[in-house]
Structure 1
Amino acid sequence: MDPRRVLTFRAVAHERSFSAAARTLALTQPAVSQQVAALETEVGARLLDREPGGLKLTTAGRILLEHADALADTLTLATTQLEEHNNAERGRLRIGAFSSSLAALVPETVRRLRDAYPDAEVLVQEGDSLALAERVKTGELHLSVAFQDAALARREHEGLTRHDILREPFLVALPPDHALSGKPTVALEELADAPWSAASTDGLIARACRAAGFEPRIVSITRDPIAIREFVARGTAVTLVPRLLKPGMPGLAFAKIVNGPQRDLYVLTPPGGRHPLVEPTLQALIEVASATG
């Protein structure tokens, strides 16, 4: 297949209009129509149907659009990597990371990286794991640190390589004067009546509580480790904390959880043309996770 025709078809498919796609591509409408018609001849199937409400993808069109989007992502990444290869930004490494990894893994990783490569410049940006993955795909980030609930199906990210670095258990974090403080292990159902702090109403903490047979009464929704520690320390909430965060939360009581939840930490990297500091950073992350986990 002619990749230019595939990308032209992609524009039409997303715009649902030959004329709108022509404006986006700076082409004439007849030229766009001719390219899509030639592509349909090439693949031996209709890709678009004209309907009163506009264009509609056929089954073959939906299949091809998925590959066309992947092709566009690959070309965008290639453009970014080639531009970096030829400019002065080559030394700057851009890392994406979710909030709690910034409080545990990433700072020590960056310190080790700078010790080994004194001239390297590192930029770390916080974000949601899924949003950061998209930025790695486009080359905006060189790698990202991500996590997922280990109880869910393994999450793969099309077009990216996943490197698993740690499976981490959660602990219960309690106020120091809580009735369960001092117990080495607790069952979540013992906290069914407690107020909870969580990152969301449907995330890992909520799922763990529901699996234990109760709906958590969430009184604080935040991902900020400092805010979480303060809510728990002042006796206004309990929560679940990844083990890596325990050293950064002094003044709280912690306990292991009977059949408690776990999360998988992993790193996402793009294909080809990786920044030269990606591999040393990945190795440093693995070493830090192993030492602290």
Structure 2
Amino acid sequence: MVDPRYIGVFHEVVRTGSYTAAARNLGYSQPAVSQQMRALERVLETPLFLRASGGLELTEAGRILAGHADSVVEDLTAAENKIAAVRELRRGSIRLCAFPSASATLVPSAVARVTEHHPELRIRLSEAEPPDSLEALRRGECDVALAFSYPGTEEPAAADITGTDVLDDPMVAVLPVAHPLADRDSVALEELAGQRWIAGCPRCRDHFLRSCEAAGFEPDIAFTTDDNLAVQGLVAAGVGIALMPALVLSFLRHPDVVGRPVAGLPHRRVTAYALWEQHRIPATALMLETFGRIGAEMAVGS
């Protein structure tokens, strides 16, 4: 295999007509250029230059290599320029995977901030609930995954993944506006023991059931859906009440429902994840940092 660096030096020797001129242009010593050309000839097992009275002349093999060297050097230069653009965030792409309420809140703010300073970056979004989003990350289907966890469902420490804390998302009780507790500043979960409930996604539902058990009751679940808008519609229609992350109600609220904080209920944790081997990639690192800053700002403003 020919070392591409030798091709670059060879190209400069051919262009300038001498080892000395090539060495001067490349910032090498003349012996270093001579050594690399001898090494190139050894790899190819044939002479490339003949010394003549007028200077260096190419052998037939040298002329063949010279015919390809221009395109090799151009391709390598183009590749180096593109890599520099990616490194300097002047081009490139980022694939995000997020759960729906993060897609509607955290993602738009983060994307707007990133693309304001790096408009050539292209960002693609897909949606998945955890743990599916983390599996997508491990399969290489996304670069950054936004996921949530509840106490007892935290992602185990893994050598292949790094996480950046984004925010703690409190849980609220979603009630019809005419509900007897709708005017309260907050409610305790045990106060809602006799209600019928609308349950959400599997991970949320598991947390809900464990919270109700800790509060001393088993909930009467009347309906189950992953659709947050449907949950609110069902609550407004009087089918039941629901437990929902505050992040959802920050952008989506049915006019006939209210959200009330549930005292003493643990928050869900939102985290941005990336593979360890990718977190040093500039675009990935920038997105992780941006999600962290957005989450901190949202927490201060809440």
Question: Please, what TM-score do these two structures have when normalized by structure 1?
Answer: 0.64
Distance 2:159 2:180 in 1: 47
Distance 1:127 1:154 in 2: 16
Q: 1:280 aligns with which of 273, 276, 286?
A: 286
2:269 corresponds to 1:264: yes
Which residue in the other structure is 1:133 paired with?
Answer: 134
Give a deviation string over 1:228-282, Cα, whole Å, max 9, x none: 2212222222111212222223322122212113111111111224443112211
Which residue in the other structure is 1:36 paired with?
Answer: none
2:235 corresponds to 1:235: no
Over the matched positions of the two proteins, sequence identity in percent amounts to: 28
Using a 3 Å threshold, how does the CA distance of structure 1 residues 114 and 234 change in structure 2: closer, same or farther? farther
Verify the 8 A CA contact 1:97 1:146 in the aligned structure 2.
Answer: yes
Which residue in the other structure is 1:76 paired with?
Answer: none
The Cα shift of 1:158 comes to: 4.1
User: Superposition RMSD on alpha carbons, in Å?
Assistant: 2.4
Which residue in the other structure is 1:116 paired with?
Answer: 117
Using a 3 Å threshold, how does the CA distance of structure 1 residues 158 and 220 change in structure 2: closer, same or farther? farther
Verify the 8 A CA contact 2:166 2:295 in the aligned structure 1.
Answer: yes
Distance 1:152 1:114 in 2: 33
- Any stretches of 5+ residues in structure 2 without a counterpart? 1-81
Which residue in the other structure is 1:177 paired with?
Answer: 178
Verify the 8 A CA contact 1:244 1:292 in the aligned structure 2.
Answer: no
Give a deviation string over 1:86-118, Cα, whole Å, max 9, x none: xx9x72211111222123212222222222221
2:222 corresponds to 1:226: no
Matches within 5 A, 1:151-162: 151-152=152-153, 155-162=156-163
Which residue in the other structure is 2:295 paired with?
Answer: 289
Q: Match of 1:184, SS?
A: coil
Deviates more, 1:252-261 or 1:172-181: 252-261
Give a deviation string over 1:160-182, Cα, whole Å, max 9, x none: 11222222221111111111101
Give a deviation string over 1:121-165, Cα, whole Å, max 9, x none: 111111122222122223221010111103556633441112222
Distance 2:154 2:278 in 1: 30
The Cα shift of 1:200 comes to: 4.5
Q: Match of 1:179, SS?
A: coil
- Any stretches of 5+ residues in structure 1 without a counterpart? 1-83
The Cα shift of 1:207 comes to: 1.6
Distance 1:170 1:192 in 2: 16
Distance 1:277 1:268 in 2: 13
Larger Rg: 2
Distance 1:208 1:178 in 2: 22
Using a 3 Å threshold, how does the CA distance of structure 1 residues 209 and 135 change in structure 2: closer, same or farther? same
Verify the 8 A CA contact 1:185 1:256 in the aligned structure 2.
Answer: yes
Partner AA of 2:243 in structure 1: L
Partner AA of 1:100 in structure 2: S
Which residue in the other structure is 2:259 paired with?
Answer: 254
Partner AA of 1:266 in structure 2: T
Verify the 8 A CA contact 1:148 1:155 in the aligned structure 2.
Answer: no
Verify the 8 A CA contact 1:99 1:127 in the aligned structure 2.
Answer: yes
